[in-house]
Amino acid sequence: MVQRANSFHVLQHDLLKVDYRKGSVDVYCDFVRAIMQSTKTPQYITKVWGQSISTWAVDLMANTKTSFSASKVSPTPTLRFTVDGHLLRLHCVTFSEIIQFGEYLDDNFYTGRFEESALHPVLETPGPYPTGHNVVEVLWRTLICDHDLEQHPARDSLSLSFRSWLTLEAMRAVGTSLQAGGTRSQHLLSMPSFDLLAGQDPTSLVPTHAEIRQECDKAGLLEDHLEAEMYQCYPLTLAERAYSYMTVVQLRMNKSRLFRLASGHVGIGPKNIREGDVVCVVSDVTTPFVLRRIQHDQPNRCHLLGEAYVHGIMHGEAVDEMDIALTEYCIE
């Protein structure tokens, strides 16, 4: 802690007072509060701690740099704490509310629940996407936060690796079904979103059921059983083509959920999001955040859940005017 404190050369020492009666949690909260008050910026909230302490008391050991910007302007920050120091007051631009979210994706992305976790929120977005992108491009870019390992936006060529990855995802789900005693046809019939997605795909990036069956035949994933020797060899070639996209999607989607906003946008947020949570852009912090209202009689009193990626607003589209309406939220 001392080493970390020394790295904040702008810290006003009069904001920190030694009190040996306090526990470690209170000491840490005092430290974070002093840093925010000294720097007069809420930029450190980009890394929510996620522990059972004040949600604004963030993880200062984490990298606070972000590759995203949802604001072309940076309204003057108005960061301040309540007198007792428990509530952080922030001015934010309220963007939209979460109305649907997918299943939580943990370290094992291949859960066999790809449709529930990713396809449903994207496919159920009514009308054309706000950016004009087709739904397949929205899907493959959103799953990786439109960021490959080198640049943002992600290179168009990564879409070819996405196609192989999506095929492999479907095949693995079929393999899981066969191992559980089901049949290939039964599982494919339970995957209507693939055909629906393919019908909205002008780029032919989505494999149809016929293509998936053809790839399954090559891999030994037959109608009612799995040929183990074939399966062990063939998927390796497909995995090689899928590797570029697979690497990035596992990095970006790990411990996250896909969500859909009332505005029609989709994005990726923390694992604990739910319907009714609000996506905001905080003054002087250009990355969108998810806030949760915790009191009906005080709708601006919230918990800070963490950063979010929202496809279509990460280049300043969310906030592009200086006279935007700001809402003050009180973060517990």
Domain ranges across the chain: 2-97+267-331, 109-253
Among 61-65, 213-217, 267-271, 276-280, the minimum mean pLDDT is found in 61-65
Are 45 and 73 a contacting pair, CB within 8 Å? Answer: no
Query: Each residue of 20-49: pLDDT tens digit?
Result: 787 877 887 887 787 777 777 777 676 666
Q: What is the CA radius of gyration of the chain?
A: 23
Find out whether 326 and 283 touch, Cβ atoms under 8 Å: yes
Residue with the bigger pLDDT between 293 and 226: it is: 293
Look at residue 193 and tell me whether its pLDDT is greater than 90. Answer: no
Strands of 6-68, DSSP E: none
Listed residue (87, 192, 142) closest to 314, CA to CA: 142
Facing residues of 319 across strands?
Answer: 71
* DSSP, res 15: G
Is residue 247 over pLDDT 70?
A: yes
Q: Between 308 and 299, whose confidence is greater? A: 308
Gap between the terminal Cα atoms of the chain:
23
The pLDDT confidence band at residue 299, using thresholds 50, 70 and 90, is confident
What sign results for the dihedral spanned by CA atoms 205, 253, 305, 297?
positive
Q: What's the mean pLDDT in 125-147?
A: 86
According to the model, what pLDDT value does residue 107 have? 47
Q: What is the pLDDT of residues 74-109, one digit of tens each?
A: 656 667 787 677 788 888 888 999 999 887 765 445
The pLDDT, as a whole number, for residue 67 is 60
Query: Does the predicted model carry a pTM greater than 0.75?
Result: yes
pLDDT(1) > 50:
no
How large is the average pLDDT for residues 198-210?
83
Q: Assign 162 a pLDDT band (cuts: 50, 70, 90).
A: very high
Q: What is the DSSP letter of 26?
A: H
